Chain A
Amino acid sequence: MRYQITHETKYSYESIVTLSQQLLFMSPRNFLHQTCISHNIRIEPNPSESLRSPDYFNNIKNYISIFSPHKELMVSAESIVDVFNRPSLNQLLPSPPWEDVKKKLSQGYWEDEDPINFLYASIKAPLDEAFSSYAAMSFTPNRPIIEAAFELTQRIHNDFEFDSDSTDISTPLLDFFSNKRGVCQDFSHLMISCLRSLGLACRYVSGYILTTPPAGQARLVGSDASHAWISVYCPVNGWVDFDPTNHCAVNDQHITVAWGRDFNDVSPMRGTVLGGGKQTLHVNVTMDPIFDYELSIQLPLTVT
């Protein structure tokens, strides 16, 4: 599938900002299941400095700073991305028992650093007995890891309610766990904490989902803003993505931008401003399929 994504961010400030320094994670990364065809970020006012570099996890990080005084900051990221089909859930389900995976991960000397990055507590995804006992209901002895993870995805979706007014980025995970209302970041952090509390490796994925569903299907939750889900490590299948907000395995309706240990590593935009007073933030995301892309926009690109 080919998608066009427009991700607009607008900050309005009460008083003038004289210096703004921002870190953006808005450029979709390339990997096995996805190729970014074109990508462009427009920023107003024009940044005085702009620097693009990979972060520790090889995500694309943009550092910008703006010296000219402004009361409004607009960032618009436009991307065209090809997404390839992933193995179906049925293909993934036959997987090793989760205890075997845990054991393998706990061997200290390991040839591959990748999963170990995502094995331990991080600031937004703390470990707690509450999480391991909640997860244990799905992670019964000898159960294949993907089967157990998929069930946990569904349980989280059933036990917790999506409510965009109930939490913000500073809400501790345990509060969400007891209030049972939150947004996709909370759903994802909970699942990460559950899996890590069991000794499994799990990472946070930031991205987008399809705005208008195919005919006859329901619109997915979180489609008008940036979205988040998780990825669990399985030595046989590699990283397998689940979306606990929408209780599904991730396939070709999710666009991956970046991954990290939690929200703090890859939030779309963070930074500091000098001055500004009160600020308001407005975000808008649209992600639409473009079937006749090659015809309407003539780009000399061949895509496999």
Chain B
Amino acid sequence: MSSTFLNRYPRATNRHDEMLHPNGEVRPHWDDLIKTIASASEVSMRQRVESVQRQIKENGVTYNIYADTQGAQRPWDLDVLPLVIPEDEWSVIEAAVIQRAQLLNAILVDVYGDQSLFKQGQLPLSILHGNPGFLRPCHGIELPGNIALHHYAVDIARAPNGQWWVIADRTQAPSGAGYALENRTIISNIYPELFYDLKVRRLSEYFGALRDSLNHWGRLCAAKQSASNPQIRTLRDGEHPLTVILTPGPYNETYHEQSYMAGYLGFPLVQGSDLTVRNNIVMLKTLSGLKPVHAIIRRVDDDFCDPLELNSDSLLGVSGLIESARNGNVLITNSLGSNILESGSLLGFLPKLCQHFFGESLKMPSIASWWCGEPAALDYVVSNLNHLVIKPAFPRRGERPIFGEDLSDIEKAQLTQKLRANPNHYLAQELVKISQAPVWDQAESNKLNANAIGLRVYVSATPNGYVVMPGGLTRVATGEDSRVITIQQGGTSKDTWILGNQTHPHQSLIRKTVSSKDLVHENTYLSSRTVENLYWFGRYSVRINLAARLLRASLLYFLESASSEYQATEWPAVHGLCVWYGLMPDLGKGEEQLTSSSIDHNQIEKQLISAVLSKEEDSLAKNIQQFYQLCFNLRERLSLDNWRAINQFCQKYIEPNPKASLSEVLSILNETCTSLVTLSGYSLDGMTRDHGWRFLSMGRRIERIQFLCTLIQSGLNMPAESNLDWILELTDSIVTYRSRYSAQPELLPVLDLILLDENNPNSMIFQLKGFIKYLTKINDHYGNAHEEHIMIERLNALLSLNPDIDFQRGSSSLIKWLQVTQQMSIEISESMSHKFFSYSGVQQESNRY
């Protein structure tokens, strides 16, 4: 490919260009990347774009736009071109961002501690009390190492003169670091040589430091816990403190990232209901009881973290969390109440405060800001609306900036009135032209667009000071309004490459090497909720498999009976199973339908299609969506490959074609059955055999037991001349049967194969024995449960049946056994829920008065 794309690249006017000098020459640090692209063929660039899109799709990188269960997840958008920053420039940014983190931390510690800044007149009290983000109950929380700000993200952008400016500070629960990591994984894959040659700085060290630091502080909290509470034992040498990531749940816009980070860092991802506070100590509800938590990375907003002392409507938080933190029994990152730093009202005071605290000037300026709460600032703002952006001083979700230049004279007068009436609530900022960077056009080949960009830089506290992630999340304004960079309203992202000439040795001072006594063989921190999800994952993975096979069999019978004189005697049994599974409506007299003269083929056809694809009625598609939701909730437990396979499989059903014909539906079913064979292989092979996996397996077994009970009962009720192929088909046993008997299936051998054959993984006895085995293992660990004995009793009862007498049509003892077993399996499932999955009950707010 020639470098004509450079000639077509729009030149910057009144703004900085990241790639080009004002004279049009490529800046040296972009040289290699541009050469690589210029020498690439059109085809290979297209392959790169497609590879990025494919990886995003396969990895399931999404951004939930709205809290929506019905798949309103937007795929993440990532440009093939990274943003390149040379090392010397980066070290300037790095130093400035570290200084800013230290400064903001000092302010935060003061606000929730001595408040000396206000007593000494460094800051006006109105900045504190006028800010709804100032949470009085959080005053006096103990801060290990005097650090309140552990994870900090700062949005910076480049002004026309080439200088970087701070646009905004993210101090609550900054998002995006995980996306930056995923961007890196994807982009480094498509330029492997270049990535290596340029010595692009790696991100993994940063996350290592983050993990080590949390362990360090978590250990302090652990010591505090055991000092004040004799029941809490001290951590053993080499034992890690327990850090959890507190998520608002799967409907949060960045849930994908949260689960990705949890998996990457190896911290359990928990929801508020997974935690409880006992004797001032935060506990994780696990299978093996309550486990003390030492550190919490929260992705829940300040105000929602503790319904007892903060927003009482919150269902996302943990009652008593603040009290526990106040006593130093748990580290919360960032400390609760840190939202106060996100207010732009502080920006104007930072240079002065930087001098006050450190005796040095602020290394990177904030974008020029005027907080209207200061009378002089208000006057300036009112007379300069044209080149200002007006924002809420104390930001809340969903409030959009007002651009003075967009307003008519009347609107300006109205705005002025609002500003004067409530000056504290407004902040004005200079409208800057931020720099542009090249973005590869995905539609038109060989074309670069120029879009405004901003960079989000991540900082973490360590016991040795703040460290900066060598990279970041570059966000690109491709939305409607180029003045606003937001991922929420559309907009793409870039990987960020910091070039390095020297190698940066890993500087971990805290981490020890793992010795043999530290080896962990069993994850003891399985939360009850995770286990419940795994159990249902098991059940649904079998359920959709059986439902797909059942519907395929139904469809074939229907087609056969519609096209010939042949009367399907099996139809009522097959149809009955569909009704039992909730896939088809129970028509009462439905059993007569296919044999009577008034067959309504159209109606049944419609019902069958709907049973597969319907989004409204219970259907296979609905079950698959349910399954997908479970997988999504278990995201951090699944390997990337596992997740990819599930994601690919489920995507087909998320947007089903409602107008599919019967034969199209049949081919979808065939495809589904094939994919499911692979999927269940994954779950058996790839997962660690821990208790979580055992619950998953028990879910699979229980689902099969219930299905087999129903299936065999319908089989036993069929007329004598009925064909038994479909029973073998549904139990995936047809090949085995043919290889053994090479004849038309007969009842006795069929029942023997699907009830008593221990070598058949789909047989009843196989399910029972497996279930008993897993439950015994779990009981060994968590105390005895009588469910085990019920199943052993069922097994013995099955073995005591005499096939020659009992394996016949209408056999009352077999039917009785099936009925009791089915009933028992339902009861066992319920009692397991009570015992393991929840600390029985839903948390609710007390009536207040």
Contact = CB atoms under 8 A, between A and B. Distances in A.
A109 B121 contact: yes
Contact of B129 (A21, A48, A120, A274): A120
B129 A116 contact: yes
A121 B393 CA distance: 14
A226 B849 contact: yes
B846 A11 contact: yes
B91 interface: no
A67 interface: yes
B636 interface: no
A226 B848 CA distance: 12
Interface stretch (A208-216, A230-238, A276-284): A276-284
B277 interface: yes
Nearest to B838: A274
A108 B124 contact: yes
Contact of A274 (B125, B320, B841): B841
A128 B115 CA distance: 30
Interface string A60-82: 00010101000000000000000
Interface residues of B, number: 42
Contacts of B118: 113
Contacts of A19: 276, 839, 841
B125 A113 contact: yes
A273 B844 contact: yes
A85 interface: no
B514 interface: no
A271 B308 contact: yes
Counting chain A CB atoms within 10 Å of each CB, the highest count among B307, B843, B849 belongs to B849
B308 A23 contact: yes
Contacts of B129: 113, 116-117, 119-120
Interface in B89-140: 115, 118, 121, 124-130, 132, 136-137, 139
Contacts of B205: none
Interface string A250-285: 000000000000001101111111111001010100
Contact of A275 (B115, B121, B424, B841): B841
Interface string B297-329: 000000000011100100000011001000000
B839 A49 contact: no
Given A21-B277, A274-B843, A55 B308 contact: no
B25 interface: no
B848 A269 contact: yes
Nearest to B276: A19
B564 interface: no
B752 to A, nearest CB: 47
B280 interface: yes
A269 to B, nearest CB: 7
B597 to A, nearest CB: 54
B507 interface: no
Interface string B467-491: 0000000000000000000000000
B843 A272 contact: yes
Given A23-B308, A116-B125, A11 B278 contact: no
A127 interface: yes
A108 B276 contact: no
B139 A276 contact: no
Given A49-B279, A109-B125, A273 B840 contact: no
Interface string A17-57: 11111110000000000000000000000001101000111
Contacts of A63: 308, 320, 323
Given A19-B276, A49-B279, A108-B373, A65 B840 contact: no
A231 to B, nearest CB: 17
Contact of A65 (B125, B320, B847): B320
B849 A273 contact: no
B655 interface: no
Contacts of B312: 264, 270, 272
A226 B280 CA distance: 30
Contact of A18 (B121, B320, B323, B840): B840
A268 B848 CA distance: 8
B847 A281 contact: yes
A273 B846 contact: yes
A276 B847 CA distance: 12
A272 B139 contact: no
A113 B374 CA distance: 18
B780 interface: no
Contacts of B840: 18, 275
B374 A108 contact: yes
A271 B421 CA distance: 37
Contacts of B320: 21, 63, 65
Contacts of A137: none
Counting chain A CB atoms within 10 Å of each CB, the highest count among B115, B320, B424 belongs to B320
A55 B846 contact: no
Contact of B278 (A20, A67, A109, A279): A67
Nearest to B121: A109
A6 B392 CA distance: 46
B843 A18 contact: no
Interface in B813-849: 839-849
Nearest to A18: B841
A169 B312 CA distance: 12
Contacts of A225: 849
Nearest to A54: B140
Given A120-B424, A268-B849, A269-B848, A109 B124 contact: yes
A93 B847 CA distance: 40
B308 to A, nearest CB: 6
A272 B276 contact: no
Nearest to B845: A272
B308 A56 contact: no
Given A49-B280, A67-B278, A109-B121, A275 B842 contact: yes
Interface in A79-122: 108-110, 113, 116-117, 119-121
B161 interface: no
A271 B308 CA distance: 5
Contacts of A57: 136
Given A51-B323, A56-B139, A120-B129, A169 B848 contact: yes
A120 B130 contact: yes
B847 A279 contact: yes
Contact of A276 (B278, B319, B841, B849): B841
A264 B848 CA distance: 9
A56 B277 contact: no
B198 to A, nearest CB: 51
Given A63-B323, A268-B849, A276 B844 contact: yes
Contacts of B513: none
Nearest to B280: A49
Interface string A268-304: 1111111110010101000000000000000000000
Given A19-B276, A108-B125, A283 B374 contact: no
Interface in A190-247: 225-226
A273 B839 CA distance: 12
A242 B192 CA distance: 74
B846 A271 contact: yes
A268 B661 CA distance: 64
Contacts of A18: 839-841
Contacts of B841: 17-19, 274-276
25 contacts: A21-B308, A21-B320, A23-B309, A48-B279, A49-B279, A65-B277, A113-B129, A116-B126, A120-B130, A120-B424, A129-B421, A267-B849, A270-B308, A270-B846, A270-B848, A271-B845, A272-B312, A272-B319, A273-B843, A273-B844, A274-B839, A274-B843, A275-B840, A279-B846, A281-B849
Interface of B: 115, 118, 121, 124-130, 132, 136-137, 139, 276-280, 307-309, 312, 319-320, 323, 373-374, 421-422, 424, 839-849
Q: Which 7 A-B pairs have the closest CB atoms?
A: A108-B124, A275-B841, A56-B136, A271-B846, A116-B125, A272-B319, A21-B319
Interface of A: 9, 11, 17-23, 48-49, 51, 55-57, 63, 65, 67, 108-110, 113, 116-117, 119-121, 127, 129, 169, 225-226, 264-265, 267-276, 279, 281, 283
